[in-house]
Structure 1
Amino acid sequence: MRLMMTVSGVRGVVGETLTPTVAAELGCAFGTYLRGGKVVVGRDSRPSGAMVQQGVVSGLLSAGCDVILLGIASTPATALMVRRHSAAGGVVITASHNPVIWNGIKFLTNEGLAPPPEQAERIFGIYDLKAFTLARVEQLSTPQSDPSAANAHVEAALALVDPALVSAKAFRVVLDSINGAGGVEGKMLLERLGCEVVHINAEANGRFAHVPEPLAENLTQPCEAVTAKQAVAGFVQDPDADRLAIVDENGVYIGEEYTLALAARYMFAAHPGPAAANLSTSRMIDDVAAQAGGACRVYRSPVGEANVVAVMKEHGCQFGGEGNGGIIDLRVGPVRDSLVAMALTLQLMTLTGKTISQLVSDIPRYVMIKQKFECEKDRIARVLEAVRSQCEDGQINDSDGVRVDYADAWVHIRGSNTEPIVRIIAEAPTADRANQLIDRMRQIMDATA
């Protein structure tokens, strides 16, 4: 297995592809790219986090960087502190929803955003060539600690809503932090919003209480807790707390696509204007925009957090996100943020007087099917060109693979950045229609063999 290096950062299996030496060299490569300067470093709660962090920090120091250590902190909190410190960049030690044997290194720009592809390539090029610039001994510094990240993040999220109004409802909610990095921040936010918090899997020890990927079969514990405690909602964070899954008051997991749709319902009403979402995100957000009317509309981006943010900036969008439970509000930062998602959801419930299940029932329901198929990398371009030429009966967006929109449904086919596979996502009012679109893509693929 190789070290995975993409625009989203670096991930590897600890002790195999991700070792202390690799971590130190990647830190040195990033420090060399930055030409020194201040770098903010946070990490999630994985048992390997301290080891990987030590390696990265030694590399940064060797390149002449001044390092600010946040300790265990969510990805959005780390991104926020990059800007608060006016740092040259940031590093988050996390592998997001990957199993505990994995860890990763996510680089951040001075805006707290993942570097665009050309910058990521330059960082990886320095690493590959070992073209490090090492500082003279008199330029070396000692890392400094900043314990204020959690409070700063909570304050930023609270500023988006009316805490007094939400507090008056005295909601009882379940928070499942999966023993990840977001527990302290998440509980602090909910308590500041007047909630009675039933906090499960709260210890930041990195021993994930269930599989982190937010699938229904992995979320039985928070669903049962909502029912047992008669809570109005369950909020489930991922290990680095940038994504949020939601359980309704009946103990039913509503699906990660609804996190963005519910946030959009509030934002389009409170702050009418455009939003951005990637090409693989449900069209529920388009339906919510259409219901809101006026200046509300959705711009689509290639897959990837940084791509969503680029489209947000291009079109003046205040918020956006991805269908994986990731909400981005530029007032807090240019990254996905589970605290923002929780705050906006509770504000929506407060203003509408509706439960989660009632809010979900107001949004058109679709069936989304995701599949992947083996496809040699040199064949992927031919497949995409065939889809473009044979699907002229729909509206085509080829900014990232090919997405074809029809009046009732859509399908998106794209090659993986890390594996010889293509991913196909189809969404339609029925499973039969979604499968029909996937079958059509598969037939086009087979014909290019």
Structure 2
Amino acid sequence: MSLMVSVSGIRGIVGESLTPAVLTKFTQAYATWLKRGKECSGAPKVILGRDTRPTGQVISDLVQSVLVQSGCNVMNIGVATTPTVEIAVIDENADGGVIITASHNPVEWNALKLLNSKGEFLTATEGKEMIALAETGDLDSATWNNFGISISDASHMERHVEKVLALPYVKPETLAAQKYKILVDAVEGAGSEVVPALCRKLGAAEVIEVGCKGSGLFPHNPEPIEENLQETMAMTAAEGCDFGIIVDPDVDRLALICEDGTLFGEEYTLVACADFYLKQKKGTVVNNLSSSRALRDVAAKHGVECFSGKVGEANVIEVMKEKNAVIGGEGNGGVILPDVHYGRDALIGIGLFMQAFCDWQKENGGGKLSDFKKIFPAYFMSKQKMKLPSGGASVDDAFKKLEAKYANEQVTTADGLKIDFAETWVHLRKSNTEPIVRIYTEAKSKAEADALAERFSRELLELLS
């Protein structure tokens, strides 16, 4: 299994591609990059956090030791969500941050997610600089009397919650009046304590906790997509909940379940949050090329523009800054609110979503979440994966052949290959986190979206075989 090195981090299977030597090399390269940075004077300060995976503590100990021996001062905030670490970098005026998490990947995976002094993922340029240091071995190591120091601070998760509660348009007193009964599935990840706690502070009358013990042993595939959430969806309906909340292990993605056990959908998380937020503050919105057209339609309703960037948080943030967007994110359930920080944040998403639903209920004299979803443009997506055949043809060459075949359609090659048809679209791209090609399609019906995905899966496989 090859190591995945990208804007999404240094990711691999622990003990196979992600070894102590690999972790040491990239951590030392990151420390070297920080120390040589133009904005850094003296010993770099690094925020270190992790999710709950069984390998997280050991890897955290190793990473902390390498950072200290490389001359960095470390603030270890322990188990924390990815957005919590991002915010902590800003609040502590740190030079960078490291989150030990493989996000939605299975339990045998882990990763280093690396942040710059803005609390954001390294840009493409920054990432190349850091990776070049790792590859050349041009690395700094502190002398015995210039080691850094490490301290622990477990307060940042609570401080993150307070930032959500402090948003002027999130009103816990109005939410409490709705007496929501909520099911929370945190897949035993970093959200196990903080997500139920946030829901209660936002006024939930009852919170049913599923997968909230923080063991790191995921009860189901942790990627919050429909095929992995069947039991959670059924339980939400069976328990008579108003809605269900699902987060991934590092809590930067948010999916929602309606009261009848149907999926509100990770694609519609950003759509609903953006629709609500644009009522508070007008401005452009941004998603990625694999996201639903529904956001474009919502933006048009509010008289603002919608732009799309390449897949990946850093790429979306780059476009958000360029277009001065007031809200953005990705269709995988990631919500980015610059008012708080530039990072996908499920806790922010929960606050915005609950208030959006509450306000709609007050305006309409009640109603269910399944009814609330009907106010948004109806699109259906299919998200499939295709493992790359060993020894096959180049994916890039296959994409070029498909590009030529569909030259009469609207074709985008900024991130893999996206083909926009009149009523549908397909987006093919190599994953940054797994040795697969992701095939995303959207249409006016689920059957049509599935059929389109299967069609392009066959076409691509023929070109790769």
- Paired amino acid for 2:285: A
RMSD: 2.3
SS at match of 1:106: strand
Distance 1:420 1:247 in 2: 30
Task: Give the whole-Å Cα distance in 1 for the aligned partners of 2:72 and 2:455.
Answer: 52
2:321 corresponds in structure 1 to 313
| Separation (CA, whole Å) in 2 of partners of 1:179 and 1:60 | 28
Distance 1:322-1:418 versus aligned 2 partners, 3 A rule: closer
Letter in 1 for 2:6: T
1:173-188 mapped onto 2 (5 Å cutoff): 173-188=182-197
- TM-score relative to the length of structure 2: 0.89
2:192 and 2:212 in contact (8 A); partners too: yes
Aligned-partner residue type, residue 72 of structure 1: V
Distance 1:305 1:405 in 2: 22
1:370 equivalent in structure 2: 383
Tell me the residue number matched to 1:325. Answer: 333
The 3-state SS of whatever aligns with 1:246 is strand
Show the counterpart of 2:38.
none
Q: Which ranges in structure 2 are unaligned for 5 or more consecutive residues?
A: 36-42, 362-366
Report how far residue 379 of structure 1 moved.
3.5
- Give, in whole Å, the separation in 1 of the partners of 2:160 and 2:129: 30
Provide the residue aligned with 2:127 in structure 1. Answer: 120
Whether 1:267 aligns to 2:274 is no
C-alpha change, 1:448 and 1:171, in structure 2 (3 Å) is closer
Residue number in structure 2 paired with 1:171: 180
Instruction: Indicate the SS of the match to 1:30.
Output: helix
Is the Cα contact below 8 Å between 2:69 and 2:148 reproduced in 1? no
The aligned residue for residue 357 of structure 1 is: 370
> Is the 2:83–2:345 Cα contact (8 Å) retained in structure 1?
yes
Deviation of 1:279 (Å): 0.3
User: Pick from 244, 248, 272: which aligns with 1:234?
Assistant: 244
- What does residue 163 of structure 2 align with? 156
Q: C-alpha distance in 2, partners of 1:344/1:418?
A: 29
Please identify, of 34-43 and 185-194, the stretch whose mean Cα deviation from structure 2 is larger. 185-194
**1:341 corresponding residue in structure 2:** 349
Deviations 1:332-389 (A, max 9, x none): 2222111111111110111110432112122232232234364779733443334444
Give the distance between the partners of 2:424 and 2:234, measured in 1 at CA: 34
Asked if the contact 1:249/1:355 (under 8 Å) is kept, the reply is: yes
User: What secondary structure, in the 3-state scheme, does the structure 2 residue paired with 1:16 have?
Assistant: coil
The structure-2 alpha-carbon separation of the partners of 1:146 and 1:436, relative to structure 1 and needing over 3 Å to count, comes to: closer
Q: 1:18-417, aligned counterparts within 5 Å?
A: 18-35=18-35, 36-160=43-167, 161-196=170-205, 197-290=207-300, 292-295=301-304, 297-353=305-361, 354-371=367-384, 372=386, 374=388, 379-417=394-432
Alignment-mate amino acid for residue 176 of structure 1: D
CA 1:94–1:387 in 2, change beyond 3 Å: closer, same or farther?
same
Mean Cα displacement is larger for which, 121-130 or 75-84?
121-130
Give me the whole-angstrom Cα distance separating, in 1, the residues matched to 2:220 and 2:86. Answer: 26
Residues of 2 paired with 1:349 and 1:166: CA distance? 9
For residues 241-267 of structure 1, the C-alpha deviation after alignment (integer angstroms, 9 at most, x for no partner) is 111111111122233212122212212
Identity between Structure 1 and Structure 2 (%): 37
CA distance in 2, matches of 1:220, 1:439: 26
